[in-house]
Each structure stands twice: as structure tokens, then as C-alpha cells.
Amino acid sequence: MTVEKKDPRPAIFLDRDGTIIEEIGYIDDPEKVQLLPGAVEALRIFRQLRFWILVLSNQSGVARGFFPESRVGAVNQRLQEQLRAQGVEVDAFYYCPHHPQAAVPAYRVECDCRKPRPGMIQQAMREFPVVLDRSVIIGDRYSDVEAGKRLNLTAILVLTGYGANEYSLYGQDASRTQPDFVARDLLEAAHWVENRL
Ligand SMILES: [Mg+2]
Ligand SMILES: [Zn+2]
């Protein structure tokens, strides 16, 4: 499906690792891309609902010197190929390669894009006409929830990836920004979004 980029729409801002694909630590090898169960169906639902599908990923493995930035693109490309083979695709991938204590000096920066900061959302909004007040962020970490909430987005925590652990640590913590919904996985999140419209 070709997407017309000038059409204002709400967006689904999606974390990648632990949300769409298996969380296996710092993923540097396209061969290791493994879609989570229900992820493709979830993306189909978001597409049917005419959301932008925008992926935002912290990739501090670059800053830590674990792998070059080109590997992030290779992994994203493999993910996109796997999705396209099943008739769905992501509209754009964004990532943050930085870390404030990076081993690699070029990436040692207090950037605005590392979640929980909302810089990647803001960057996406410069490139896509996003209707923000109907947009949703979905991820497996409280840093995803926080990034979205800084821009008043609806936020969903999924229990895949680090999600179950994060929820057990912070789910009752009043000092943490809490999600609007906690979903078993991306598909349950998609159904929640679908029913809420
Ligand atoms: Mg994640
Ligand atoms: Zn960054």
C-alpha cells in the first residue's frame, strides 16, 4: 500500500524491541529479527484505522560501542521486509544512537531523542502530518510511556519484552507516569485502540 504523506492522521508511535519484535538484548543482526505473536495483525488493524505507523527506538548499543549505526538500519530493513511479506509496513523508523555515558565519544551526548525524552516523536511530527490528540504510544518500558505522556499522548504498556518486569517494578509507583492501558501484547493494544475510537 502506498501511503499519501500529506494526509493529516493520528499516529501509532511504536517501540521496536520487546513491542514488535522479540527483545533479545542489543539486537545487531538482521537474522535475529523475530516478530512477536500478533504483531503483524496488530499493524494491520492500525493500518485499517488509518494511523501513521511510526517506530521509535532507543539504540544505545551504538553509543556503547556494541555495533555500528549501520546495523540499526539493517535490522529495521529486515523487519520491514518481514512485514511487507505479510502485507503491512511501517511508515518510518526513528532511532536514538546516543547515551550520556557512551563509550563512543561521537555518541556521548545528552540528546533530546533518547526516550523518555520526546525528541523522536517531535522529529516524526516534522515529517508527517500527525493529529497528536488522537495519537497513541505503545512500548514495553516506562520510558516509552513517559515519552508519550510528555506530549499528552495516550500511552499503552505492553507486557511483552521488558513489560511484565517493568510493570511489576513500577505499576504501583505513584511517582511514575502510568499508562492509560496495560496490554498483554501489541494485538491486545490494537483491539483496545480500535474499540476506543
Ligand atoms: Mg522496548
Ligand atoms: Zn539521541
Extents of the domains making up the chain:
11-196
CA separation (Å) from 38 to 45, 58, 70, 169?
11, 22, 28, 25
| 123 burial level (CB within 10 Å; 0-12, 13-18, 19+) | middle
| 44 burial level (CB within 10 Å; 0-12, 13-18, 19+) | middle
Measured in Å, residue 41 CA sits from the centre of ligand 1 at 19
Domain 11-196 superfamily per CATH: HAD superfamily/HAD-like (3.40.50.1000)
Measured in Å, residue 163 CA sits from the centre of ligand 1 at 8
Task: Retrieve residue 44's grid coordinates.
Answer: 494491520
Measured in Å, residue 144 CA sits from the centre of ligand 1 at 8
Active-site residue (options: 7, 15, 112, 180): 15
Torsion of CA 21, 23, 29, 32, to 10 degrees: -60
Identify the band that residue 6 occupies on the pLDDT scale cut at 50, 70 and 90.
confident
pLDDT digits (tens, 9 = 90+) for 17-61: 999 999 999 999 999 999 999 999 999 999 999 999 999 999 999
* Residue 7, pLDDT score: 87
Q: Note the pTM of the prediction, 2 decimals.
A: 0.96
Cα distance between residue 178 and residue 155, in whole Å: 8
Q: Is 15 a catalytic residue?
A: yes
